[in-house]
A and B are shown apart, each in its own frame.
Chain A
Amino acid sequence: MKVKVLSRNPDDYVRETKLDIQRVPRNYDPTLHPFELSREYTRALNATKLERVFAKPFLASLDGHRDGVNCMAKHTKSLSTFLSGSCDGEVAIMWNLTKHECVRTLQAHEGFVRGMVVRYCGTSFFTVGDDKTIKQWKMEAPGYGEEEEPLNTILGKTVFTGLDHHWQEGVFATCGQQVDIWDEQRSSPIRSFTWGVESFSSIRFNPVETEILASCASDRSIVLYDMRESAPLKKVIMTMRSNTLCWNPMEAYYFTCSNEDYNLYTYDMRYLDQPVTVHMDHVSAVLDVDYSPTGREFVSASFDKTIRIFPKDVGHSREVYHTKRMQHVICVKWSSDNKYVLSGSDEMNIRLWKAYAAEKLGVLAPRERQAINYNQKLKEKFQHHPQIRRISHHRHLPKSIYHQTKELRIMKEARRRKERNVRKHSRPGTVPVVSEKEKHVVTVVK
């Protein structure tokens, strides 16, 4: 006779050692786990709420400058080193970001420090100032008893307003009344570009196609250059002046410029006749822009005392950072490990922010990481649901900015209405619909 008894093999449920993972038998029968949609929705909602709870982006304020911070530079080889030049121009300061302290100051220029860039090898850096000089400095502090002296000084004829270094060679470019390409070994520019009478505000080397440059000029234009050619490549004139621009470090032909008309424009350098994306949200002139090293997002600094983070192909910002004491933000940088954002503002402080406001810094346990990944996906999945959307999009803004945003919206709506009315009351075809992208480009000059 066969007797049926309950019998279990201990191998199925007993761990060999206590360090083994507990075996958890699971039954994935969907009938046993009902309401998956609503349960996940709730989880997503909670995750979104928690994200807002944990969104504390402000990390530190680095004070030490005695005037507004006019320019900053990332170290190319060290994450913890950071350079800044101030507006009164007397000092360029090197920071240790991990300790939040100033490591070294030096008297660089008389007047504004206009531009600052670290050489690609990280051993020295260049500064330009209002005193018409380009100075190259050693990254290391001078030894005891030695005087702080630049490695090299070049006297220019005019004021330099911007500076950038080639990503792979000993060549750098300055801009002022003209764009000059300098060899580090020479005291005179190896090439200079002019195209009409203008003054330039910013120049940037393309980090991918390293021979290509772009500059912003005061005649509201953005000019492209090739270092190897004797003439500039092309020029696009916009309705208002661009202040700075930044190339996407991962995508060779995209760059973004920050404009005086409160917007940022991402261009494809092959098709300059209209921007790829118009990024709007600022309520005052945008002064600086910097791409994240992953090329997915960029951060912009504005005169409206905020910095905003935009995904590169989205028209509106995903994040806005502001503090009560932060004044007009003049310069901004995204750290090269994609974790932090640094902003230098008028009121002499450099602020350190997290690039992802709710991100937990430091090492994550595997389970923690899994949970974070899952929550992230949930948020993405349910992002279009109104409640979740409302919570995730909500940002507290300073009153002035809030009202100004509203006002701008009203103005825009009024303009649109007017245009619509004009179109309505004129012969069909005479008032064409102009898209937002087309609106801001005046011409492309070959």
Chain B
Amino acid sequence: MDKVSKKSIKNCSSQTPESAELNPDEVYIDEAEVEELNAADENIICEEEDACKDERKRQRLLEAISALGGKRKRKLGERSEAAVQMSEFTVSGEGEKVNLSDLIGTIDKNAAIPAKTKKQLKTLQQSNKTVECPLSKQESERIQRDVAYQKAASEVSQWKGVIKQNQRAEQLVFPLNQEPSGPKPFERVLTSWKAQTPLEQEIFSLLSINKQPIHDPILTPTEEASLRAMSLEEAKVRHAELQKARALQSYYEAKARRERKIKSKKYHKVQNKHKRKEFLKQFDEMVKTNPAAALEELNKIELARMQERMSLKHQNSGKWAKSQVIMAKYDEGARKSMQQQLEVNKDLTQKLVTSLNNEEDSEIEEVSAEVTPAFVKDAEEGLDSSNPWMRGKLSAEPREKQTSDSVDLTAEGFGGNASEDEEDKHNVAETEEEALLREFDNRRKHRQIQEADTELILCLDDDDNEDKEKTKNAAEDLDTSDKEEELSQFTSLMQGLTDAHWDIEAEFAKTAADTSSQLEQSFIKIGTLEDRELLSQEDSAAEKVPVKPQLSTSTENPLPASPVTEKKRKRKRGIELKHVLTKETNIIHVPLAPTFRDSEDLDESLDQRQLIKEAFAGDDVVSDFLKDKRKQEDTSKPKLLDLTLPGWGEWGGTDLKPSRNKQRRFRIKAALPPPRKDQNLPSVIILEKRNSSVTLHQVNTLPFPFENHAQFESTIRCPMGRTWNTEQTVKKITKPKVVTQLGTIIEPMNRERLGKKLVSPGSQDSVKLS
């Protein structure tokens, strides 16, 4: 023990109680030690006193010097040597006390202090409020404890997930933080190994510069980071996704290649049509769901239109087109092809107006002609077109009426020998045929229109009123000119129908012969109207009004509508119950039974009995019970044991019974069982099946974790052995819950595990922890 500490101890012992109170936090020293040191030799003290004197002198000198400056400078307690009085904060216990006011006084002069704090201090000085009395020691300690406990509890609760997982894990392998087995890289084994030769050093410096792995020569830091970023499962999932995508892509590519190789023009036409239809559908949906995307599509279409208008493509101005013009006189095909080209041009240059562009519903009529995009037009120029103008055929109510009448007439015509059901059927079938017919007809019509006046079609999208009139004319023209053709076609078709199906066909053919033109028209009209309804149901009403007069001019014999066609139309749209159910429903008439009785004066008990009688009418409980009992008795009776073997000791074969002697010998009667317990109890059945020797081995109460018998039985039922299961299954089933390694110390749970768990709370059944 050196001098200094002794001195300090001495000082300590000579300290006033006040100073001791001032520094209660100072280093604690055992009393025993102090006593020991007090008893130490005294001869050093005189030396110390000398030193003290010197010190005092020096102090005085310093004070004098400082006084020369005018102001008294505050002494700075400096920690120069180890001493007991010296606190950690270099504030010596000696010297003058510093008051708060002294400290605050300097604030005004100091410019560095913000005005805000100055203000605060001032208000503090001015306020005369008394500070609240501090809590008692017990209370404050209690609060402290409570807070600390809450903190600790929350800290500990972090482990909840890990603990739950470990409890649920099917298998736990201890020790938890096992190092991966297998050979370790020698760098890890030889920790003291160093690159010594210049070559080695160069290599390692290169490696370190390029951040290549030195110790574990598998992964670079970036790779490791990426690995850490993506867990194995995620990677697997992603890999699978990519694989799938790739497979799909290749599949589609192959398909596309195959399709491209197909030479059939028709096929491609159909395909294109289909595609356009699909697109239209999508577009309609898009208009509803995603207007922004739809608008984009629209813009695209618009752009295509612009390009088309600018270019000379499809204008019948090319070399080929010129040659075709020459050929057109003689060749119908050439004409057709030219028209097709023009059609394409028209479609592409047609202006597009959708609900996106104009919202006014009042002008639907005008719009309806242009609802569908232009490029789709040729796809559905037939029956699907929503544009009645384009079809060159006008359809509306009066015509429909007419058609309905005509159909009605035909129905009446063969209604005499056909029943109601048959008629219905017929109608249905007829509608199918109609559809076919309509299609044919429409196509033909369209072609004719094209032939007749292409300019008419071209100027269709210009103005409404003009349009109407023009189409009126066109329709009239067509009606008159095409009649013969239609008739012939229709009759031929009808012939086919009649050949195929009904027994009424002869009659129908007759009727068809005279009303053929009428009918034909009606079919067409129905078709068109239906189509229109299908495509633009909401604006049909608006459409009807302007169309009406024009139609009336075209129709020859306006007749009142009949309900049959109405029905027909309905049937076309949705599934009718009658249509589906071929049989008529039998209505069962149930005589209304009295739900309550009027006679309340009857005795209640009698009523009750009556009720029971009613409820169990036909049940003979007693006899049933007796039967049951007899059955039980029979089953419990011992059976005759037949041990006779045919053919042993005598002739055997079919229809040969063993001899009576043999039967007597080998048929063993079992001993009579003890009398039944319910022998003398007429109204009781006591089951005597229960085997006491088996019950010894049976579980008689449901064990704890199970909730019902079925659960428990199912666990018992499935066998675990290798006789019944495959090797893998057995291994899986018989996996022990806890696996420990021989001769390894199992360390307690580590904080690292918590971090790991928090990062990837995987739901593995076997928590193999490494």
A interface residues, Cβ below 8 angstroms from B: 26, 28, 30, 33, 36-37, 39-41, 43, 76-77, 79, 155, 167, 187-188, 207-209, 212, 224, 226, 229-234, 249-253, 269-270, 293-296, 336-339, 363, 370, 373-374, 376-378, 381-382, 384-387, 446
Q: Is the CB of B746 within 8 A of A209?
A: no
B52 CB–A CB distance under 8 Å: no
Besides the known contacts A230-B144, A269-B152, A373-B736, 6 further A-B residue pairs in the complex with CB atoms under 8 A apart:
A36-B719, A207-B748, A231-B148, A252-B749, A337-B746, A384-B699
B217 CB–A CB distance under 8 Å: no
B95 CB–A CB distance under 8 Å: no
Complex interface: chain A residues within 8 A of B734 (CB): 370, 373-374, 376-377
In the complex, A153→B720 CA distance in Å? Answer: 61
Complex interface: chain B residues within 8 A of A269 (CB): 152-153, 156
Separation in Å of the B635 CB from the closest CB of chain A? 24
Taking chain A's interface residues, is the majority helix, strand, or loop, or is none over half, making it mixed? loop
- The answer to whether residues A373 and B735 also contact, given A233-B148, A270-B153 and a CB cut-off of 8 A, is yes
Of the listed stretches B501-509, B608-616, B724-732, name the one at the interface; the rest are far from the partner chain: B724-732
Q: Chain B 255-299 against A: per-residue CB contact (8 Å), 1 yes, 0 no?
A: 000000000000000000000000000000000000000000000
* 17 intermolecular pairs with C-beta atoms under 8 Å apart: A37-B717, A40-B720, A77-B745, A188-B30, A230-B144, A232-B145, A233-B148, A250-B166, A269-B156, A293-B174, A373-B735, A374-B734, A376-B736, A381-B716, A384-B712, A385-B697, A386-B700
Q: Is the CB of B145 within 8 A of A294?
A: no
Complex interface: chain B residues within 8 A of A370 (CB): 730-731, 734
B90 CB–A CB distance under 8 Å: no
6 nearest A-B pairs in the assembled complex, by CB-CB distance: A249-B748, A207-B748, A293-B746, A36-B719, A252-B159, A233-B149
Q: Is the CB of A41 within 8 A of B697?
A: yes
Q: Chain B 717-755 against A: per-residue CB contact (8 Å), 1 yes, 0 no?
A: 101111111100011011110101111111111110000
Separation in Å of the A107 CB from the closest CB of chain B? 23
Of all chain B residues, the one with the shortest Cβ separation from A380 is B737
Complex interface: chain A residues within 8 A of B719 (CB): 36-37, 39-40
Q: Is the CB of B746 within 8 A of A234?
A: no
- The answer to whether residues A446 and B696 also contact, given A269-B156, A337-B745 and a CB cut-off of 8 A, is no
Separation in Å of the B121 CB from the closest CB of chain A? 32
B118 CB–A CB distance under 8 Å: no
Q: Is the CB of A387 within 8 A of B697?
A: yes
Separation in Å of the A236 CB from the closest CB of chain B? 12
B55 CB–A CB distance under 8 Å: no
In the complex, A167→B725 CA distance in Å? Answer: 47
Q: Is the CB of B749 within 8 A of A251?
A: yes
Separation in Å of the B185 CB from the closest CB of chain A? 25
Separation in Å of the B157 CB from the closest CB of chain A? 6
Contact of B699 among A250, A374, A386 (CB under 8 A): A386
In the complex, A37→B720 CA distance in Å? Answer: 10
B172 CB–A CB distance under 8 Å: yes
Q: Is the CB of A208 within 8 A of B749?
A: yes
Of all chain B residues, the one with the shortest Cβ separation from A29 is B724
In the complex, A209→B696 CA distance in Å? Answer: 50
In the complex, A231→B151 CA distance in Å? Answer: 13
Complex interface: chain A residues within 8 A of B725 (CB): 28
Q: Is the CB of B738 within 8 A of A234?
A: no
B219 CB–A CB distance under 8 Å: no
Q: Is the CB of A446 within 8 A of B142?
A: yes
Q: Is the CB of A37 within 8 A of B716?
A: yes
Q: Is the CB of B152 within 8 A of A212?
A: yes
Contact of B698 among A33, A40, A188, A385 (CB under 8 A): A385
Instruction: Report which residue of A28, A233, A376 has the largest number of chain B beta carbons within 10 angstroms of its beta carbon.
Output: A233
Q: Is the CB of A446 within 8 A of B145?
A: yes
Q: Is the CB of A208 within 8 A of B159?
A: yes
Separation in Å of the A119 CB from the closest CB of chain B? 15
Q: Is the CB of B736 within 8 A of A374?
A: no
Q: Is the CB of A446 within 8 A of B146?
A: yes
Q: Which residues B662-713 have CB closer than 8 A to chain A?
A: 696-700, 703, 712
B155 CB–A CB distance under 8 Å: yes
Contact of B724 among A30, A207, A252 (CB under 8 A): A30
B320 CB–A CB distance under 8 Å: no
Separation in Å of the B698 CB from the closest CB of chain A? 7
Complex interface: chain A residues within 8 A of B466 (CB): none
Q: Is the CB of B715 within 8 A of A207?
A: no
Complex interface: chain A residues within 8 A of B700 (CB): 386
In the complex, A227→B730 CA distance in Å? Answer: 50
Q: Is the CB of A381 within 8 A of B697?
A: no
Q: Is the CB of A385 within 8 A of B699?
A: yes
B643 CB–A CB distance under 8 Å: no
Q: Is the CB of A249 within 8 A of B697?
A: no
Q: Is the CB of B156 within 8 A of A253?
A: yes
- The answer to whether residues A378 and B153 also contact, given A294-B738, A337-B745 and a CB cut-off of 8 A, is no
In the complex, A28→B699 CA distance in Å? Answer: 28
Q: Is the CB of B748 within 8 A of A338?
A: no
Separation in Å of the B691 CB from the closest CB of chain A? 14
B163 CB–A CB distance under 8 Å: yes
Q: Is the CB of B748 within 8 A of A337?
A: no
Of all chain A residues, the one with the shortest Cβ separation from B150 is A233
Separation in Å of the A337 CB from the closest CB of chain B? 6
B32 CB–A CB distance under 8 Å: yes
Q: Is the CB of A249 within 8 A of B749?
A: yes
Complex interface: chain B residues within 8 A of A212 (CB): 152, 156
Instruction: Report which residue of A39, A41, A188, A385 has the largest number of chain B beta carbons within 10 angstroms of its beta carbon.
Output: A385
Contact of A337 among B144, B155, B731, B740 (CB under 8 A): B740
Q: Is the CB of B742 within 8 A of A363?
A: yes
B141 CB–A CB distance under 8 Å: yes
Complex interface: chain B residues within 8 A of A232 (CB): 145
In the complex, A336→B744 CA distance in Å? Answer: 8
Of all chain B residues, the one with the shortest Cβ separation from A167 is B748
Of all chain A residues, the one with the shortest Cβ separation from B721 is A40
Complex interface: chain B residues within 8 A of A40 (CB): 719-721
Complex interface: chain A residues within 8 A of B151 (CB): 226
In the complex, A82→B593 CA distance in Å? Answer: 94
Of all chain B residues, the one with the shortest Cβ separation from A362 is B742
- The answer to whether residues A337 and B744 also contact, given A188-B28, A231-B148, A250-B749 and a CB cut-off of 8 A, is yes
Complex interface: chain A residues within 8 A of B697 (CB): 41, 385-387
Contact of B740 among A234, A294, A295 (CB under 8 A): A294
Of all chain A residues, the one with the shortest Cβ separation from B720 is A377
Separation in Å of the A378 CB from the closest CB of chain B? 7
